[in-house]
Amino acid sequence: MSYPPVLSVPASDNLACLCPTCLAKRVNSKLDDIYQEYTTEDLVRLAKPYAANTQLIENIDYTKENGYMVLSAWYLLKRGKCCGNGCRHCPYGNASTNNANNVG
């Protein structure tokens, strides 16, 4: 219930057989498609019901890179607004480009 409801489940596709890691990767992949289809305002509305969930999910809310937690666009959408830190995956159009010190 903490995963965003973005996957349709055709009768021929059994998602119950996916481990949590694989399911999270599959949801994240679908989110990447959704980011291209909807406005930022629509995406914030989609993410808002999950804002209170403080339990971060690897491969949905963040990935690990060189020992750092890199926040995803989904996590940043759940915040509801840009924090102004130039996060790499900023869905609000304020991402910095190739900042090695940026872990957001």
Counting Cα atoms < 13 Å in the Cβ hemisphere of 87 gives: 21
Report residue 1's pLDDT band, with 50, 70 and 90 as the boundaries.
low
pTM beyond cutoff 0.85: no
Q: What is the mean pLDDT of the chain?
A: 80
pLDDT tens column, 60-94: 999 999 999 999 999 999 999 998 998 989 999 86
* Tokens encoding 88: 């790499």
Which of 12-21, 34-43, 61-70, 81-90 comes out lowest in average pLDDT? 12-21
Ordered DSSP codes for 41-73: HHHHHHHGGGTT--S--BTTTEEEETTEEEE-H
What residue has token string 């998602």? 15
Quick one: DSSP state of residue 79? H
Report residue 23's pLDDT band, with 50, 70 and 90 as the boundaries.
confident
Mean pLDDT of 15-30: 78
Long-range contacts for 97-104 (Cβ within 8 Å, ≥24 apart)? 103/65, 103/68, 103/69, 103/70, 103/71, 104/70, 104/71, 104/76
